[in-house]
Amino acid sequence: MAITGVLRPGHVQLRVLDLEEGVHHYRDVLGLVETGRDASGRVYLKAWDERDHHSVVLRQADEAGIDFFGFKVLDAATLDRLEKDLQAYGVQTSRIPAGDLLETGERVRFGIPSGHQIELYWEKTDVGNGQPYVNPEPWTDQSENGIAPIRLDHCLLYGPDIEKVKDIFVDVLGFYLVEHVVMEDGQTDLAVWLSCSMKAHDIAFVRHPEPGKLHHTSFLLESWEKVLRAADIMSMNKVSIDIGPTRHGITRGTTIYAFDPSGNRFETFCGGYQSYPDWQPIKWTWEEVGTGIFYHDRVLNERFLSVVS
Amino acid sequence: MAITGVLRPGHVQLRVLDLEEGVHHYRDVLGLVETGRDASGRVYLKAWDERDHHSVVLRQADEAGIDFFGFKVLDAATLDRLEKDLQAYGVQTSRIPAGDLLETGERVRFGIPSGHQIELYWEKTDVGNGQPYVNPEPWTDQSENGIAPIRLDHCLLYGPDIEKVKDIFVDVLGFYLVEHVVMEDGQTDLAVWLSCSMKAHDIAFVRHPEPGKLHHTSFLLESWEKVLRAADIMSMNKVSIDIGPTRHGITRGTTIYAFDPSGNRFETFCGGYQSYPDWQPIKWTWEEVGTGIFYHDRVLNERFLSVVS
Amino acid sequence: MAITGVLRPGHVQLRVLDLEEGVHHYRDVLGLVETGRDASGRVYLKAWDERDHHSVVLRQADEAGIDFFGFKVLDAATLDRLEKDLQAYGVQTSRIPAGDLLETGERVRFGIPSGHQIELYWEKTDVGNGQPYVNPEPWTDQSENGIAPIRLDHCLLYGPDIEKVKDIFVDVLGFYLVEHVVMEDGQTDLAVWLSCSMKAHDIAFVRHPEPGKLHHTSFLLESWEKVLRAADIMSMNKVSIDIGPTRHGITRGTTIYAFDPSGNRFETFCGGYQSYPDWQPIKWTWEEVGTGIFYHDRVLNERFLSVVS
Amino acid sequence: MAITGVLRPGHVQLRVLDLEEGVHHYRDVLGLVETGRDASGRVYLKAWDERDHHSVVLRQADEAGIDFFGFKVLDAATLDRLEKDLQAYGVQTSRIPAGDLLETGERVRFGIPSGHQIELYWEKTDVGNGQPYVNPEPWTDQSENGIAPIRLDHCLLYGPDIEKVKDIFVDVLGFYLVEHVVMEDGQTDLAVWLSCSMKAHDIAFVRHPEPGKLHHTSFLLESWEKVLRAADIMSMNKVSIDIGPTRHGITRGTTIYAFDPSGNRFETFCGGYQSYPDWQPIKWTWEEVGTGIFYHDRVLNERFLSVVS
C-alpha cells in the first residue's frame, strides 16, 4: 500500500459551555451537518464532503477545550499493530468499546506527554456526502449552508514536551515533520507541524507550560474566495474573529482564526502546499516566527501564544 | 509509515517532433523551468514548486508520444521490494543504471499490458523550488513565468487490457481505484482512475485498441483563476486548445486540455477532491460518461476518444 | 451631473413558451427574485442586488424572443427631453401609461431600424436588495439562491441597419461606441457594442437579415468563481449550455452562454474592463472575429451567428 | 451624453521624502509604469491598463502628503463651464498652463474648504495600455509586474468642513452621495463617499481638524485573488501593511491598506458594488462605523482616524 497506517484525522471531541449555542455555531454558522445525538447528550457533526458519520463531537462541560483527537487507520490489523507498537514504545493505551461514539468501532486511546488524549480507530459508518457513488454531482446545496468547510483538517495543540510528542508521532505512528519553528537557541522546537499524508499538517504542537490545551481545530475550504465568504458569514453572525483573512508563511495556507461561543478557537483555511515524506522539513527561525505564522502582518498578535482553551 | 511505497509521479519522457519548438512550449508557454540537457540531447524541466531535479524530459523523435512514466518510491528498500513483487507477479523488469537520466538514481522499468513503459526509482537530486528551506517566501517570480503549474500531476494513458493494468497497480504497487467508467454492459471498465496518494488520480487508463498511447500529461494549477490565466496564455501563444476551461465530473477538477506543437495533449487543471484508500470508488455509467468527462458540455467531444499520441 | 441622461438597462420583456417553466428557470435556476404578477399574467423578476422593482418580465407566447428592452433615465425632464430629441431625429415615439408595467411610471417607446422596440422611463419603485439603507450587510442569502446574478446587464440584438441604430443611440441618446467588428471590407460594422455608462456595453447589435431578433440577455456575476458555479448549476439543472465558461476577447469578460427552456439565449458573465466616453473604440477585424467573440476557442461556434430567438 | 461633465480621477501628485525610494515603491512594488520625468524632477507613472499618460506624479519634498488631486472632464467646453460654475458658487479658481504636467493640457485648480487642492482638465495624451486598439489581447506582461493595479481609482482626504466640500462636489461638479457615516448626533457627517460615475467612490472625505491631509490614494485590482497576491508582494518587499486583506462594509470592497516608504497610505482594493445617481445613499451610524470601515474586524484600528500624511 502506498497510503497505509494512519490515514487522517477522523474526529475531535470539543467541550462547549452551552450545548445548543455550540450546535448553533458548528451547524448553522460553520455549516457542519448534524448526524446524531447520543444517550449522554453529545452532538455529532460532519463536514458536508466527509463520508464518515462524524468528525466533530460536542460535549457540554463547565470548561471549554478538547477531550480527544482521533485518527482513522487503514484497517483492524493496523489498529492492532499500532497499539502494540505504542505499548512497546512505552505509551500506555486503553481500548474504548465500539459504539461509545455513535457508528464508530473500537478505539485505542493513549495520552501523550503534551497532556492530550489521542485515539486510533478503523471503523466508522460511511454515510456519504449526500451524493450517490454512481454519477454524482460535484457539490450539493449543503456546500453553501453556512461556511461549509470540506472537512475537519487538523488541530494545533499546546502543551509541554513536544519533542517527545513528535517522536511518538514520527517513530511509532509514521508521521513526518513538515515544518518547525525553533527557539532563540536555534535548536529547540517551539512548534512542529506533522503529517501522515500529503497534507502539510495533520496535527501540530506548540510548546506551552500548561498541558492538554487546544489552540485550534481547523476546517478546510475550497478557495480563497470561500475564505472571504467565511469571514463575511462570521461577521454576519457576530463570530469573534481572531485574525484574518490572511496567509500563513508556514504551510502557505490562507486562513481565518476565530472563536466559537465557548472560546474554542477554530480555523477555516484553504490552500497551502502538498508535501511528501521524502521532502526536507522547512525551518523557521525565532526572528521570523511572526512572518511564519501571519505572513502579511509579520508579527504575532498577542493572542496567538497566550489564548488557548 | 503512513505514506510509503510508491510516493508520486516523478517524471515523464515525451517525444517531440522538433526539440527547440518543444522546449519553447514547455519552458516559455507552459512555464516549466529548464534544469539540464544531457549528452543524448534530451532536455529536462521541472515545475517551479517541484523540488526534484526534473519531472518532464523531452526527446526529439519522428513521432510524438510517451516513452515512459516514472514514479518515485520511498527508498532503496522499497525499490527492491517492489521489483521483487513485480517479478513474483509475473511482470518482467529491468534496471536502468543511475545517471541515465540526469541527477537520477537507478530505475526499475517494466512494461504493462496496455503497452506502456513504467518506471520506479527512489533517488533524484533535490534542487529546491528557488526558496531556501529556512524562512521561505510562499512563491517566487518563477510562479508567474508562463502558465507555471505547481507540479506534474498525473497522466492518462490509452491501451488495451486495462483490467490487467489496474490489477498490477492495485495488487502489486499499492494503488487504489478512485473512479471508473463502465461500458454498456455495466461491468467492463472503459476507464480507471488510480491513486497511490490522496490525489484523485496519480495515473489513469482508458481502454483503447492501440497499445502505448498517450492521452495527456497533466499539470496542477493553484486555482480556478489560474485556469483562466492558463487559457489566456494559451490563446496569446496560439496553443491549440482542445476543450476548456471546464469542469470534470470525474474527480471534480477544473481543466483545460490543449496540445503541444507535436500533438501531445496536455492538461492544466485545478481542484477536485482529495481521496483516501478506505473510500468506496465512484462509478460512472455508460450513459453519463459525457457528463463525467466534461461536466458542463455533458457530451464528449469527438477528439476525446480518438486523438492520442 | 456627471452621470445623466440614460442611466442603465432597466428591464427586458421576454416571451416564453410555457410560463411556469420559464418562471422555474429564471427564478429557481438563474436565481432571480419574483416580485410580482400582473393582471395579464406577466411575471416580474429582479436580480437580488438590483433595487428597482423588476428587470425581467416574462410573457407567455407562441414564439420565444424579446418584446422590448427598456432604459431608465435620470428624471422626468430627461424623459421629456429625450422623447423630443427622438422625434426631432425622425424616430416615432409613443407613451405607455404608468402602471402598464407594475410599479413603473410612464414609458416612451420607439422602434429602431433593427426591428426592436426600445423604451425609456424614469420611475420604478425602489424595493431594495433585502438589506436596509442603514448599516447593511454586504450580501444576503438570496445571493446564493441559484446562479444569482447581481443585475440585468445588457442585451445583444440581431437585426438589419445597425449603422442607423448606432446613430440613434450615439447621436440622440448619448451612448458611445466601445468596440466594434468590421466586415471583410474593413469598414462596414458587423457588430457594435454601445455604452451609456462605464460598462463596456449597455446594449449591442449584430447585423442580421431578420429584424427584431434576440441573441441574448446578459446577467452580471461577481467573480470568475461564480462563473464556474453558474456552469455547475446549469449542468445540475440540465440547462442547455451554448459555450463556456470562456473569455470574450471583445470587452474581456468571462462568460457562459446558455438557453432558457424556450430557446432564448442568456449570458452569465463577469469582469471585462470599465470604459469611458473619451476612450478610442476598439476595432476587431473580420479575420479575428472568432478570437474577439470566444477568446480561448478562437473560432465562432456555428450557433453564434445563426441561432437567435 | 449619458456620461458627461467630470469623468474620473485623472491624477494625484504625491510628496515623497526620497524620490528614488518612492519610484522603487510605486514602479517596482506597486507595479505602475513609469512614463516620464520632467525638468523639475517629478516622476510620472500610470497603471498598466490606464490609457492616459499618467495618473500618479511623485515629487520629492520634506514632508509626505498630497499636492493636488485632478479629475478629467469630458471636453474643453465642460472645463470652461465648470470653471464658471465654480466661480459663480464662490470658489476661487486659477488656470495652470498646458505642459506644466507632461502631456497634459490646461488645468483649472481650486482650493476646497477641507484644505485640499483639486484640479480639472480635459486633455492628456493617450499612450495606451501596451496593446493596439485593433484586435488587442486582454492583458499584457505588465499586468503581472508587481502588484499591478488596473487604475488609480479614488482618494480619501481628511480635513475640516466636509459638508461644504460635499456641496461643492454635488451642487457644482455633479457628483452624488453614495454612502456616509454620521456622528453621535445622528446628523453630522463624519465621512462622505462621493461619485461622479458608477464607481461607489471617486473621492471621499473624513472630517478632521487639520486641513489638507491625505488618508490614502486607492488603486483598483481585478479580483480577490489579486488582493491576496498584493498582500504577498507587500510582505516580500517589507511594505508596511496597515490592515488587510479584509472587506469594507462601506462600498463592500475588499482591501489592503499599506504605507509607501514616506508614510503615505495607499490602498489596493477590489470589488464593491456599482452605483447610480438615482440610488438612495447608504447611511452608517456612529455605533457601526467600525463594521462599516473594516467589516471583518468590526472595530476601527487606532490608525484609521489618526495617521494621515
- Using an 8 Å CB-CB cutoff, list chain B residues near A269: none
pLDDT tens digit string along C203-243? 999 999 999 999 999 999 999 999 999 999 999 999 999 99
Share of chain A above pLDDT 90, in %: 97
How much is the pLDDT for B305?
Answer: 86
How much is the pLDDT for A2?
Answer: 81
Residue pair A149/A220 in contact by the 8 Å Cβ criterion: yes
Tell me the nearest-neighbour CA distance from C6 into chain D, angstroms.
Answer: 5
pLDDT level of residue D1 (50, 70, 90 thresholds): low
Active site residue B25: no
**CA-based nearest residue to B36, from B47, B50, B46:** B46
- Using an 8 Å CB-CB cutoff, list chain B residues near A279: 51
Residue D165 clears pLDDT 90, i.e. is over it:
yes
Q: Do C135 and D281 touch (CB under 8 A)?
A: no
Q: Do D223 and B225 touch (CB under 8 A)?
A: yes
Write the residue in C139, C223, C236 that is nearest to A232 by C-beta. Answer: C139
How much is the pLDDT for C1?
Answer: 60
- Given the residues B257, B276, B295, B296, select the one marked as catalytic: B257
pLDDT tens digit string along B153-162? 999 999 999 9
Calpha distance A263→A16 (Å, rounded): 8
Active site residue D25: no
Q: Do D278 and C252 touch (CB under 8 A)?
A: no
How much is the pLDDT for C112?
Answer: 98
pLDDT tens digit string along D148-164? 999 999 999 999 999 99
pLDDT tens digit string along D177-186? 999 999 999 9
pLDDT tens digit string along D256-274? 999 999 999 999 999 999 9
How much is the pLDDT for B39?
Answer: 98
- ipTM of the complex, rounded to two decimals: 0.97
Share of chain D above pLDDT 90, in %: 97
* Residues 6 or more apart whose Cβ sits within 8 Å of residue B284: A134, A135, B179, B180, B181, B182, B249, B250, B291, B292
A:D CB pairs within 8 Å:
49
Calpha distance A41→A189 (Å, rounded): 39
Region D297-303: mean pLDDT is 89
Q: Do A138 and C232 touch (CB under 8 A)?
A: yes
pLDDT tens digit string along A178-223? 999 999 999 999 999 999 999 999 999 999 999 999 999 999 999 9
Instruction: Return residue ranges of chain C for CATH 3.10.180.10.
Output: 6-144, 151-293
User: Any idea what DSSP says for residue D29?
Assistant: I
- Given the residues C26, C44, C121, C257, select the one marked as catalytic: C257
Residue pair D135/B236 in contact by the 8 Å Cβ criterion: no
Write the residue in A134, A137, A249 that is nearest to B138 by C-beta. Answer: A249
Region A247-273: mean pLDDT is 97
Strand partners, A247: A254
Active site residue D222: no
- Given the residues B25, B53, B154, B215, select the one marked as catalytic: B154
Domain formed by C151-293, architecture:
Roll (3.10)
User: Any idea what DSSP says for residue A209?
Assistant: S
Q: Do B288 and A247 touch (CB under 8 A)?
A: no
Q: What CATH superfamily is the domain D153-293?
A: 2,3-Dihydroxybiphenyl 1,2-Dioxygenase, domain 1 (3.10.180.10)
Strand locations in C54-175 (E): 56-60, 65-73, 93-96, 107-111, 117-121, 151-159
When the pLDDT of each residue in chain B is averaged and rounded to a whole number, the result is 97
Assign residue C235 a region: left if phi > 0, alpha if psi is -120 to 50, beta otherwise? alpha
- Using an 8 Å CB-CB cutoff, list chain D residues near C293: none
Tell me the nearest-neighbour CA distance from A19 into chain B, angstroms.
Answer: 32
Active site residue A296: no
How much is the pLDDT for B1?
Answer: 60
Neighbours of D34 (CB within 10 A): 16
* Residues 6 or more apart whose Cβ sits within 8 Å of residue B178: B193, B194, B195, B200, B201, B251, B275, B279, B281, B282
Region D34-54: mean pLDDT is 98
- A touches which chains (3+ CB pairs under 8 A)? B, C, D
When the pLDDT of each residue in chain C is averaged and rounded to a whole number, the result is 97
Residue pair C3/D197 in contact by the 8 Å Cβ criterion: yes
Write the residue in B74, B198, B222 that is nearest to A197 by C-beta. Answer: B198
Write the residue in A150, A274, A282 that is nearest to B136 by C-beta. Answer: A282
Calpha distance C52→C29 (Å, rounded): 21
Instruction: Return residue ranges of chain A for CATH 3.10.180.10.
Output: 6-129, 151-293
Placement of cell 460654475 in the chain: D85
Tell me the nearest-neighbour CA distance from D220 into chain C, angstroms.
Answer: 11
Write the residue in D7, D277, D292 that is nearest to C278 by C-beta. Answer: D7
pLDDT tens digit string along D172-216? 999 999 999 999 999 999 999 999 999 999 999 999 999 999 999
Write the residue in A197, A271, A278 that is nearest to B74 by C-beta. Answer: A278
- Using an 8 Å CB-CB cutoff, list chain C residues near B295: 231-232, 235
- Using an 8 Å CB-CB cutoff, list chain A residues near D296: 231-232, 234-235, 241, 244-245, 256
The CATH code of domain A6-129 reads 3.10.180.10
Integer Rg of chain A from CA: 18
Q: How far is CA B36 from CA A121, A307, B40, C246, D18, in A?
A: 47, 50, 12, 36, 44
How much is the pLDDT for A1?
Answer: 59
pLDDT tens digit string along D218-230? 999 999 999 999 9
Q: Is the peptide bond before D245 cis (omega within 30 degrees of 0)?
A: yes
Active site residue A158: no
- Using an 8 Å CB-CB cutoff, list chain D residues near A291: 235
Q: Which residue of D has its CA nearest to C249?
A: D138
pLDDT tens digit string along A122-174? 999 999 999 999 999 999 999 999 999 999 999 999 999 999 999 999 999 99
pLDDT tens digit string along B103-121? 999 999 999 999 999 999 9
Region A110-132: mean pLDDT is 98
Q: Helix or strand or coil: residue D3?
A: strand
Calpha distance A254→A295 (Å, rounded): 9
Tell me the nearest-neighbour CA distance from A99 into chain C, angstroms.
Answer: 38
Active site residue B24: no
Region A285-306: mean pLDDT is 92
Region C194-200: mean pLDDT is 97
What are the start-end ranges of the H helices in B150-271? 162-167, 224-236
CATH of C6-144, one of 3.40.640.10, 3.40.50.11540, 3.40.630.30, 3.10.180.10: 3.10.180.10
- Given the residues D25, D53, D116, D154, select the one marked as catalytic: D154
Let me know the angle formed at the C-alpha of B229 by B224 and B234, rounded to the nearest 5 degrees.
125
Residue A117 clears pLDDT 80, i.e. is over it:
yes
- Using an 8 Å CB-CB cutoff, list chain D residues near B223: 225
- Given the residues B11, B53, B201, B215, select the one marked as catalytic: B201
Residues of D with CB under 8 A from a CB of B: 137-139, 144, 223, 225, 232, 235-236
Residue pair D279/D210 in contact by the 8 Å Cβ criterion: no
Tell me the nearest-neighbour CA distance from B57 into chain C, angstroms.
Answer: 28
- Given the residues A154, A180, A208, A215, select the one marked as catalytic: A154
Instruction: Return residue ranges of chain B for CATH 3.10.180.10.
Output: 6-144, 153-293
DSSP secondary structure of A47-97: -TT--BS-SEEEEE-SS-EEEEEEEEES-HHHHHHHHHHHHHHT--EEEE-
- Using an 8 Å CB-CB cutoff, list chain A residues near B126: 280
Q: Do C245 and B245 touch (CB under 8 A)?
A: yes
Residue pair B22/B43 in contact by the 8 Å Cβ criterion: yes
Residue C248 clears pLDDT 80, i.e. is over it:
yes
